[in-house]
Amino acid sequence: MLLCFIVHTLICCLLTSGDVAKPEKSWLDETKKRLLLGKVLPAFIVFALWLDGWFYPLILLPLLYVRLVDRKGFEWIGFHSRKLYYSILLGICSFLGITVIWYLFFAYYLPPLEISQITPYVLFTDIAWYPFYEEVTYRGFALAYFVPKATSIFSLRSLLANSAQALLFVCIHHRYVTIGAPLFLVVVLLLGLASGFIFLKTRNIFGCLLLHSLLNGVALLIPRLT
């Protein structure tokens, strides 16, 4: 997958050189470059991470793309302090609401269908790694590139983009179907939509990370208390 990063850099160089050699086509080349930088390659990166979320180094793709290729700061994907408290408040409120729904489905499936042993690795992946990987990919990166900042969160574009990323997010949790608990996919969908809403509303990713980590923590803890 890192090959796409190298190929993209070469393409950008070719487009730049074409601007110098053929100034009469500069407007067309600039349009192609904006489309490539702003839509095509970001979509390819999201698709790559969606295909293979278990390969940890892939998270470098969106981070390197934002910083080195598109030459933006990480605040572009939500790592900043603006609207931090609002983002966190929305994350906590969403967590409380989704937890109630999660518990209803959990009670429906009692006794728990699958309880894995809590190890340091499980704690790291469920509480830290997966929230970071998935929020950066589906909320911070995807929504930042496909929904401009000035767009209303209730516009058709925002609703479609948020729904699309949430559905991709649901697809990577197909194990709930495998273990015989498909209703939990509703919770995953709500998490994806809520996190997308928080990001689009605040352009701050920390509330999304908090919501995701807390919900994963509840999913780890409560089955062991019943």
DSSP the chain: -HHHHHHHHHHHHHHHHHHHH-GGGHHHHHHHHHHIIIIIHHHHHHHHHHH-TT-GGGGHHHHHIIIIIS---GGGGT-SSTTHHHHHHHHHHHHHHHHHHHHHHHHHTPSPS------HHHHIIIIIIHHHHHIIIIIIIHHHHHS-TTS-TTSHHHHHHHHHHHHHHHHTTTHHHHTT-TTHHHHHHHHHHHHHHHHHHHS-SHHHHHHHHHHHHHHHHGGGT-
The yes-or-no verdict on residue 1 having pLDDT over 60 is no
Whether 134 and 219 have beta carbons less than 8 Å apart is answered as no
For the segment 132-152, the average pLDDT, to the nearest whole number, is: 94
Q: For all residues of the chain together, what is the average pLDDT? A: 85
Give this prediction's pTM: 0.85
The yes-or-no verdict on residue 3 having pLDDT over 50 is no
Per residue in 76-104, pLDDT (tens digit) is 999 999 999 999 999 999 999 999 999 99
CA distance 28 to 23: 10
The residue extents of the domains of the chain are 2-72, 76-224
Pick the residue with more confidence: 56 or 61? 61
Q: How confident is the model at residue 111 (pLDDT cuts 50, 70, 90)?
A: confident
CA distance 90 to 198: 7
For the segment 138-148, the average pLDDT, to the nearest whole number, is: 95
